[in-house]
Amino acid sequence: MEVKILGPGCANCVKLENEVINVLAELEIAADVQKITEMKQITEHGVMMTPALVINEEVKVSGRVPRKDEIVKWIKESA
pLDDT digits (tens, 9 = 90+) for 4-55: 999 998 999 999 999 999 999 999 999 999 999 999 999 999 999 999 999 9
Q: Cα separations (Å) of 62 from 45, 46, 52, 71?
A: 11, 10, 4, 13
Domains and CATH numbers, the chain: 2-78 (3.40.30.10)
Decide if 60 contacts 66 (C-beta within 8 A): yes
- pLDDT given for residue 50 in this prediction: 96
4 DSSP β-pair partners: 34, 54
Residue 58's CB is within 10 A of a number of other CB atoms, namely 11
- pLDDT given for residue 18 in this prediction: 97
